[in-house]
Amino acid sequence: MLTTTADEWWTTGVGYCLDLERFADGDGDGHGDLLGLGRHLDHLERLGVTFVWLQPFYPSPEGDDGYDVSDYYAVDPAVGSLGHLVEVVRALRERGIRTLVDLVVNHTSVEHAWFRDARSSRDSPYRDWYVWRDEPDPADDDTDLFFPGEEDSVWSYDEAAGQYFRHRFYSHQPDLNTSNPEVRDEIRRIMGFWLELGVVGFRVDAVPYFVETATREGDADDEGDGALAEPVHRGLRRDAGALSESFQMLDLMRAFISRRSSEAIMLGEVNLPYDEQLEFFGGSNARMTMNFDFVLNQQMHLALARQDAGPLLAALRGRPELAPSKSFGVFVRNHDELSLDQLAEDELAEVLAAFGPREEQQIFGRGLRLRLPTMVGHDRDRLEMVYALAFSLPGTPVLYYGEELAQDEDLDLPGRLAVRTHVRWGCTPEGDGVADQERDPGSVLHFFRTLVARYRDRPELGRGSVDLLDVGSPAVLAHRSTWAGRTTVTLHNLGEEPVTVRLPADVVPAGRRVLDLFGLDEQGGAEDGGGLEVTLGRYGYRWFGDVVD
């Protein structure tokens, strides 16, 4: 089992999403950089994370906060150089922390040299690297806009090119034509470049959208009138006769990185219902290694709003079974809005009313531009319970930088930038800076260090089989995780009222000692777990683990 755990490191790891521009300023110019990150690697090591995901650090005109890339083979000079990056990746690895980088290949910036050349002439060798039409494709007439209120179509006319180009996101982000073999080769070349510099994989941006684009032809002579399937989530369409071709793109990418590195992974942004996600996972050695679990995340927030575990239980029961080498990424918040787009209209209204009722807190009619502390009214008990809950759920937990500090958003910043705030490393008047929390054993930072340590002590939480337990209280989510002869039982009270519940008699193998993993009191310590009575305070949580002698 040790060999399996080491080889499939992501199944028991803890991730950390990091925005270089806002994490730490190393040269005093007010802008975060690689030098600043290098000076704070001990923070990540003490936190206990096992891999970091670096958000885009490539040259960019910053029309979408770096997700509009103008050069895939360079580092933005504002954050450092390739040399600085290699130093940081190596230093992280020396601390047992692997590095993933963002792969943003659904689209480029309009400032990318490929697009500038493509728009210059229909004879450009890069023309078919993008998706062009003489008129907007009628198939997109009812496509949902990703940024409602900011764009009114997924097609824009380019005067220099004399044609319309497709952009699933902003009009300054033209879609790459991923059905073009040359584009596919270039994507793999980009991946190979960063793997050679020491990264171990990629968080792949907007996966369903570039898979969708892979079913289209970029040639302006193509009418785009093939048989199209019904729209799926967020208006995604796929040519019914080209699905195998579109997913071949993911197969090619996965096969390539597997040849280059035995430990390399692809972590996908796939915000789709479960029944559609299996296509993106593929088999054991194909396609995405991990996908972020947006279904579970949205149902978790609905459950929290209702103070009822029901939605979470339904999501866990509906989760598809994955190959042993695959995993879901579990998260509470990320760098975008809290997306609630898979909830029914009345469910969405419940979550917005509970956690962000003001218009300025909401965005795109589908989510919240808040971090969790504000959402829970800075209730420390509730905040701890939510993160303990997330770490207990089957999958790989991924933190967004600043969560370990209970960092707030800044609603004065526009749109989704509100949650992308700067880390405060020194002492602050509020006493919530990193230096303050380091000295306070009761701080949120110290809670997170303990939480990560407990999770890493119990690999069954990440990759074990899960049994949902009925303990008689609708507010309590209780489940058992079992793997390699070890068992952990976790209970989380989503409600404000304290509750006492009883675990089933056979929840832990007979004769095993049971320890309270957070040491809240002596209940459960060195006892038989059968029929154990457990009291949970308001928003309380308990983790029990058996001891294998």
Q: Would you list the DSSP string of 74-120?
A: S--TTT--HHHHHHHHHHHHHTT-EEEEEE--SB--TTSHHHHHHTT
- Write out the H or E segment, with its range, that includes residue 544: strand 541-547
Residues 357 and 404: their CA atoms lie apart, in Å, by: 25
Q: Which residue type, as a one-letter code, is found at position 376?
A: V
CA distance 243 to 215: 7
**Rounded-to-integer distance, Cα 161 and Cα 120, Å:** 6
Q: Token match 């933005």: residue?
A: 76
One-character DSSP codes across 286-321: SS-SEEE-HHHHHHHHHHHHHT-SHHHHHHHHHPPP
CA angle, corner 274, sides to 273 and 276, nearest 5? 75
Instruction: List CB contacts of 195: < 8 A, sequence separation 6 or more.
Output: 257, 260, 261, 264
State the DSSP H helix or E strand holding residue 256, giving kind and residue range, or none if neither.
helix 243-260
Task: Write the CA distances from 332 to 388, 446, 525, integer angstroms.
Answer: 10, 18, 30
Q: What angle do CA 368, 292, 89 make, to 5 degrees?
A: 105
Beta-bridge mates of residue 151: 148
Q: Show which residues are catalytic.
A: 205, 269
How far apart CA 418 and CA 17 sit, in angstroms, is: 16
CB-count burial class (<10 Å; 0-12, 13-18, 19+) for 430:
exposed
Give the relative orientation of helices 243-260 and 274-281 as an angle to the nearest 10 degrees: 50
Tokens of 325: 């080498």
User: If you search the block for the tokens 């929290």, which residue do you land on?
Assistant: 304
Residue count of the chain, please give it.
Answer: 549
Beta-carbon-side half-sphere exposure of residue 501 (alpha carbons within 13 Å): 24
> What is the token pair recorded at 320?
């598809």
Helix (H) or strand (E) holding 47: helix 41-47
Residue type, position 352, single letter: L
Place of tokens 């310590």: 525
Backbone φ and ψ of 502, nearest 5°: -125, 130
- Taking the CA atoms of 159, 126, 59 and 335 in sequence, report the sign of the dihedral they define: positive
Task: Give the containing element (helix H, strand E) for 35.
Answer: helix 34-38
Place of tokens 């939605």: 311
CB distance 75 to 85 below 8 Å: yes
d(CA 455, CA 49): 11
